[in-house]
Structure 1
Amino acid sequence: MKVLLRLMMYLRPSTKWVVISLTLLILGTLIDLIAPWLLKEVFDKGIAKENTKAILLFTLALAGIQVVKSFGMFVQGRSQELVGQNVVFTLRKQMYEHLQKLSFGYYDKAKTGQLMSRMTGDIEAVKNFIGFGSLTMVGGLLTFVGTIGFMVFMQWQVTLLSMATIPLLLFILYRFNKNVGPAWGQIREQMGRLTTTLQENISGIRVVKAFAREKAEQDKFESRNDQNFDTNMERAKLEAKAFPLMGFYGGLTFLIMIWLGAVYVAKDQMTLGTFMAFQWYTWGIIWPLNMLGWQINIMQQAIKAAPRVFEIIDTPVGISSPDDGGADPARITGNVIFEEVSFHFGDQDAASEAGVLQEINLGVREGEVVAVLGSTGSGKSSMIALLSRFYDVSRGRVLLDGVDVREYELEGLRRKIGIVPQETFLFSASIRENIAYGVPEATQEQIEWAAKKAQIHGFIESMPYGYDTLIGERGVGLSGGQRQRVALARAILMDPPILVLDEATASVDTATESAIHEELLEVMKGRTTFIIAQRLSSVKRADRIIVLDRGQIVQQGTHKELFEQDGFFRNLFEMQEAASVR
């Protein structure tokens, strides 16, 4: 009930159209109730009394109200669809906006296929109920009650006797509603899993083919598909049991009415016109109950789908700007301090487990170039992610120009930190749009300047459409190194006071890497820069090198100072030197 009440709240912006739909629905119901009475008058006052004027009058009245009803149904159908589309529009907008606000912590656990399933299929199920099912249920109820009222007024004995099977029909509807709800819940969940499997396979198709795992992936998809098929068949079995029985009892009601009505007409206790009207009215009892089975189906889909949508909308944002708007990020110049910083991921126990970072203390001056080294899992990327508040610290503080990053306005803060992430992502758009993603208003000259600094301008110029070349989904039209250089140009173009290069040249050859670093020397002047790298060639120009091990700073100093010490840096240097000799 809470889910339905919450869904009804989304009707508020469309109140005018809801009122129009309900008004026309009531009008249509009244017409349906009056039409059989007019038929009765045709027989009783026209045919029985051989009154051709009465026959013509009531026949024209029947035709007239049907014209009115047809026009009303047209307007009502459009109004209902508008209401449903408005609800879908609002839900999708809310859900998408909320997804944009959720932190990295949420996406670390979320499955893309499930999100896609909820954004499409689940919201569509809600629309079907709000835009069609709910008003149809109201119309059916009005028709059912109104029909019984008219029939009782005209001949109460036949009415009550004819309805002997209605309690059985209502019992079947009750059982059906009770059982079909859980079935639809399983179907919606399994559709999310099926979508996830499909999305993962398409996104990772190159890996699938590289490891010749097509058959295994096909088996996985077929398994999910079989589960979805079986669950749908279980739901269909419920319908197959309920709907024929409902049709049988509905037909039995009609037969009882025919038999009793004929008997009452023969005994002169019921007019022929009333008998003919009762045939019409009987369907006003049977069809609302039969349609209720389909409407219950639609309602249960919505009831099971809506919580999956609301689950996302109700997820706490976690990381957001301060309530008062926060400090102005325009003041950021690049002085960075990590003060007793510890960090745990959301699923870690901060009390008993060692954090990804533990008691980090580090001060970085404006314009200083700091390299961060460490083995895989040492906390390098996590440490830098705290700067942009992709995550919040578990303990301690990260300060930018003396202000805790949690006190800055969030969007402005992130615009002050240009990042080239370890996992390069490009959009299915032109190269120009990808480079200018953070600065959409950038001029062509600015875009080309950033591309030259990233050593990608020459390659772009050689392409058939230059900067207007479309690169395909996730940048599949480019090599790994080319994607990385486009991402580097994207970060450079933002002209931020803080630049983060997270393995920014890992996918390029050493010659290109050297050229990029030469160009970056100018870019990094006066700009606080963090370089996360495994190659020592990437960090040799750093003012200071930080070595992380198991979330702690174990070494720091210049290239020369660290080389003179035993430890990770010297071991890494010797390994890479030996590899280069080979």
Structure 2
Amino acid sequence: MKVLLRLTKYLRPEVKLMAVVFVMLLLGTIIDLIAPILLKEIFDSGIANKDIALILALTLSLIGIQVIKSIASFIQGRSQELVGQNVIFTLRKELYNHLQRLSFRYYDKAQTGQLMSRMTGDIEAVKNFIGFGAVLMLLGLLTFIGTIGFMLYLQWKVTLISMSTIPLLLFVLWRFNNKVGSAWGQIREQMGRLTTTLQENISGIRVVKAFAREREEEGKFRDRNEHNFETNMQRAKLEANAFPLMGFYGGLVFLIMIWLGAVFVARGEMTLGTFMAFQWYVWGVIWPLNMLGWQINIMQQAIKAAPRVLEVIDASIEIATPDQGGTDARRIGGNIVFEDVSFHFADQDVSKDKGVLQHINLDVRQGEIIAVLGATGSGKSSLIALMSRFYDVSGGRLLLDGIDVRDYELDGLRQRIGIVPQETFLFSASIRDNIAYGMPEASQEAIEWAARKAHIHAFIETMPHGYETLIGERGVGLSGGQRQRVALARAILMDPPILVLDEATASVDTATESAIHEELLEVMKGRTTFIIAQRLSSVKRADRIIVLDKGAIVQQGTHQELFEEEGFFRKLFEMQDAAAAR
């Protein structure tokens, strides 16, 4: 119930529309309660007295109020759907916007399929309840109470005896409500897992096919699908046990009323018109109770789905612009200082576990080219990620132009650091849109200049539509090296004071790599540049080389200085030199 109460905050902007819904609902309910009275008068006054004019007038009145009810139902239906859509639009927008602000730590643990399931199926379940489930529950309640009241007024004895099976029906509803909630909770979780399996398989389809694992993936999906099927069948079994019994008890109400009403009419204790009105009224008792089972289903889906949505919205935003707005990042020139910096991942204990980075002290001057070498897992990428605040330091300080990175306005900070990541990601858009992703307003000349520096312009010109060529999801229409060069052009176009090349030329051949680095010499002038690489040919132009091992700086110096020392750099040089000789 707390979840449903929390969802009411999304209804506050819709107060006017909700008022319209309630008024139309009330009008329709009143008409439903008045109509049997008019029917009663047709029999008791019109037919009994053979008053044709009265019969016609009452019949036309029935037609008139039904027309009014139809109009009211149209307005109500449209308004309640608008309320539901507005609420879900707001909720979906809030969820998506929050996902944009969550840190890398959150995505390190989150499953994409689960997030997709919450953004689609779970939000849809909430919409179904807010959009019409809750309104129908209110309509049923008003109709039930109003109908009982009118029936008691017309003939209280028949009403009370006819309602004798209602407690049994309510007991069935109570048991169904207690059991179906957990079933819907399992279904929502199973759907999240099923979506995760589907998303991973489609995203990794090339790996699946490369290792001929189609049958194993089919089996994995089949198992998840079967679990989902079994969970749904358990829920369906609950419905199959409850709904027919509810229908039976509802039917008994009608049968008892028919029998008892006929007896009372025969004994002269009830008029024929009242008997006919009761036949109309009895459905105002039966349908709200029978429909309540379906409405409980909708409500329980929302109760189980809403926490999954709100869990994401409630996830703390660990990395954000300072409350006071932060320092203007446009002043960043490129002087970088690591002061005793340590870094731990979220699942590590800062006080006990050894950090990914430990006590890093590094002073980088504006315009300096720094190469970072190290074995896999040595902390190279983590060192770079701290500058853009993809993560925050666990200890020490990281200063840009003398100011802690945590004090800068976040978006501005990231726009001042151009990154070519190790894992290149391109959007399913045109080549132009991908290069201009960080600067959508960039001119065609600027985009082509960046592409030339990344040695991709000539290739783009050969594409069917040049820069407007669509490259497919994740850039599937390009080779690995081509995707990497598009990503490089994207970073160059931003004209940042700090440039980070994280294995930026790992997917290109040696000749292309050499040509790219020649072009980058001009681009890197005046910019602080970090080059993370395994090939020594990529770092030979660096002003300084940093060697990381197990999260600590173990060597630092120029190419020549490190070559003269025993250590990782010299071993790497000798291995690559021997490989080249072969």
Q: TM-score, normalised by structure 2?
A: 1.00
SS of residue paired to 1:571: helix
How much does 1:330 deviate?
A: 1.0
Which residue pairs with 2:188 in the alignment? 188
One-letter code aligned to 1:498? I
* CA offsets 1:234-260 (integer angstroms, 9 cap, x no match): 000000000000000000010000000
One-letter code aligned to 1:158? V
How much does 1:581 deviate?
A: 1.2
Which residue pairs with 1:93 in the alignment? 93
- Determine the C-alpha separation between the residues in 1 that align with 2:130 and 2:9: 11
1:337-376 matched pairs, under 5 angstroms: 337-376=337-376
- Determine the C-alpha separation between the residues in 1 that align with 2:485 and 2:546: 25
- Determine the C-alpha separation between the residues in 2 that align with 1:579 and 1:199: 40
Which residue pairs with 2:171 in the alignment? 171
What percentage of residue pairs aligned between the two structures are identical?
A: 78
Structure 2 residue runs of 5 or longer lacking an equivalent are: none
- Determine the C-alpha separation between the residues in 1 that align with 2:240 and 2:58: 42
Which residue pairs with 1:49 in the alignment? 49
Which residue pairs with 1:519 in the alignment? 519
1:57-206 matched pairs, under 5 angstroms: 57-206=57-206
SS of residue paired to 2:23: helix
Q: Given the alignment of the two structures, is residue 38 of structure 1 paired with residue 35 of structure 2, yes or no?
A: no
Which residue pairs with 1:539 in the alignment? 539
One-letter code aligned to 1:426? L
Which residue pairs with 1:211 in the alignment? 211
One-letter code aligned to 2:19? V
One-letter code aligned to 1:536? L
Q: Given the alignment of the two structures, is residue 398 of structure 1 paired with residue 398 of structure 2, yes or no?
A: yes
- Determine the C-alpha separation between the residues in 1 that align with 2:491 and 2:10: 41
One-letter code aligned to 1:463? M
- Determine the C-alpha separation between the residues in 2 that align with 1:302 and 1:93: 18
One-letter code aligned to 1:153? Y
Which residue pairs with 2:456 in the alignment? 456
- Determine the C-alpha separation between the residues in 2 that align with 1:412 and 1:335: 16
How much does 1:199 deviate?
A: 0.4
1:160-559 matched pairs, under 5 angstroms: 160-559=160-559
One-letter code aligned to 2:480? G
* CA offsets 1:54-109 (integer angstroms, 9 cap, x no match): 11111111000000000111111100110000011000100000000000000011
One-letter code aligned to 2:147? T
- Determine the C-alpha separation between the residues in 2 that align with 1:166 and 1:89: 39
- Determine the C-alpha separation between the residues in 1 that align with 2:535 and 2:15: 63
- Determine the C-alpha separation between the residues in 1 that align with 2:305 and 2:433: 36
How much does 1:3 deviate?
A: 0.5
- Determine the C-alpha separation between the residues in 2 that align with 1:550 and 1:389: 21
- Determine the C-alpha separation between the residues in 2 that align with 1:46 and 1:382: 89
- Which aligned runs of 4 or more in structure 1 are off by greater than 6 angstroms? none
- Determine the C-alpha separation between the residues in 2 that align with 1:449 and 1:199: 37
How much does 1:191 deviate?
A: 0.2
How much does 1:522 deviate?
A: 0.2
- Determine the C-alpha separation between the residues in 2 that align with 1:9 and 1:171: 32
How much does 1:351 deviate?
A: 1.2
- Determine the C-alpha separation between the residues in 1 that align with 2:269 and 2:118: 59
- Determine the C-alpha separation between the residues in 2 that align with 1:387 and 1:187: 42
* CA offsets 1:344-402 (integer angstroms, 9 cap, x no match): 00011111110000000000000000000000000000000000000000000000000
SS of residue paired to 2:471: coil
CA RMSD of aligned residues (A): 0.4
How much does 1:42 deviate?
A: 0.4
* CA offsets 1:514-555 (integer angstroms, 9 cap, x no match): 000000000000000000000000000000000000000000
- Determine the C-alpha separation between the residues in 1 that align with 2:423 and 2:108: 14
- Determine the C-alpha separation between the residues in 1 that align with 2:122 and 2:87: 13
Q: TM-score, normalised by structure 1?
A: 1.00
How much does 1:7 deviate?
A: 1.1
